[in-house]
Each structure stands twice: as structure tokens, then as C-alpha cells.
Amino acid sequence: MPSPRSILVFGAINQDEVARVARHPLPGETVVTDSIELFPGGKGANQAYAAAVVGGAQVTVQMAGAVGDDAAGTLALQSLRSAGVDTTLVKRVVDTPTGRAYICVTEDGENTIVVGLGANAFVSPSNLLLAQRPSVAVAQTELGTISIEAFSEFAERTGARLVLNDGPVVELSAAALSYADPLVVNEHEALELLGGQAPAGPDPAVAGRLRELFGCRSVIVTLGSRGAVLADESGTRSHPAARPPAPVVDTTGAGDSFIGALAAALALGADLDEAVTTANEAAAVSVTVRGARAPLSAITDGFKTRSTQAGVR
């Protein structure tokens, strides 16, 4: 049986190098900045961090991945451990740099990102040999198709609920997609999955079409400041975005905060609608600070209040 209230995140661990710019450069253009900052990052690590902070002492979170034998790898592990993430499944790869993400952020908080895999290229299904049997399994596709296919099979074999983030978009098997509960993509990734042909009608139609096309158990499409839409066997519906508690300064990692909080809520017994509400709150907080990780512990209090009222244990 899966361990109750446990989450396993399988994904990339990076160091983010963030340049704040007045605007994104055009092709062939150089833009100068006087602000470059380093932050712990990587989609997998960001999601594990958010899940651990939102879940708190009630949830155990394991991270499976790889870092290099450099200072960036040491800092990445320290950041995860500071949030309570178990990093025993993270390899340290000799003579290899930790993954890097090169990020440009404009004054309105929008970003562009280029990722160098580094040690993430050495992540494989072997990382999972000593993994606990989680109740929720979380993966993103920075690691590529083969590893994520194997992780999906691991989740199904162990009875875990698979939260699958197809971002960046890669081609996955029908079996992997059908087990996703939910498949989570942003609106750009949703359009790419639909071959650039979005269905006519309101936003929920996009989530419904993805679920119909790929046979997923459920689908969530995140829409930034417009919130998220959800499609499952009960139908499709919209969830409005939460209001950020402060001005937006950096949207980097907002989707990762969303997914980490979503996983924590599901591990604690919330239904998908309640989990999306919690995830939207986490995303709203995350855009008010620089870097991909935010102080999300306040989200836990709001979730506990609502879940108690709804009878969630």
C-alpha cells in the first residue's frame, strides 16, 4: 500500500541565474542589465519545495533527481532540506555541473527561460529503486520522455496518484497520459498539445478537449492571472485566480508553486476542486517575490480552514 500523505517528486534540480531587464531582447539584439541574481530552481525541485512548505509536518516529500559535485549542487540540496524535503534519492554526479536555468525577467514580472541540463541528464529510473511508495507522484518533463514514461509506470505499479506536468511539452505514450490525475499544463502548452488548434468556446473547453483527446483521468490548464480550468469525469469548470497579496514582481516558478501546492492538498485528502483553490493561492503568493520559490506556509492555514469546513481529513 502507498504510504499515506506522502509525495514523491521526480524531476530537474537547477541553479537559476536571473537577469532583470527592461524588456526581452529581440533576435540578434543585446540588452544590458545591472541585476543578476542566483536562486535555487529546477521545475522538480521547485515543486518539491512548494509541496513540503504547504504540506508542512502533515506530509512527507521525497525528491528524486541529480545535482553536480559543485557549490550549486550543495546549495540546491540545502534549500530542499531547509523546507523538509528528503533528498536521499538525489544523486551527486562527479565532474558534472548542476543544471542551470538562464532567465530574463522584465519589469512586469514576465520571463523567458533557457535550461542547461547538466547533472539532470544523468537522472534515470534507477533513482527510484529505493523510493517509498507515495500516495502522490509528481513529474514534469524537463527530464525527457524515457524517464517520465518509467515514472508513470512506477506510479501506476505502486498505486500512487500521478500529477503529470507536461512542460516543456514532450510526446508521451497514451498509457502515461491516461494515468495522469491530473495532467497539468499552461495555456501555451495546452495549445501545443492540441496542435495549435484550440477549440471554440470558453477556457474550460480546452481542458475538456485535452481530456477527451488523451484519455486523462483529469486535466488542469493554468491560465496565469485568469486562474485555472479543470476537467474530470464530473465535467469542466473554471477556478478564478487568487489575488496576489502584493505587487507582481516575478512570475518565474508560479506554475511550480501551483503544482507543489496541488500535490500537498491532494496528499492531505482534498478533492481536485479544493486542491486547485489551494494551488491558485500558492501561485498568487509566488509572483510577489523574486525567484522561483516563495514563503508559502501561510497557504497552509487557509487550506486547513477550508478543509475542516468541508470535512477533509
Residue type, 76: A
**Catalytic-residue membership of 256:** yes
303 burial level (CB within 10 Å; 0-12, 13-18, 19+) = buried
* Residue 270 to residue 49: CA distance in whole angstroms: 19
Long-range CB contacts (< 8 A, 24+ apart) of 237-241?
A: 237/204, 237/273, 238/202, 238/203, 238/204, 239/273, 239/276, 239/277, 239/280, 240/280, 241/280, 241/283, 241/284
229 Cβ neighbours under 8 A, 6+ residues apart: 203, 204, 206, 207, 220, 221, 223, 236, 237, 238, 239
Q: Which of 203, 256, 271, 301 is catalytic?
A: 256
Q: Among all residues, which ones are annotated catalytic?
A: 256
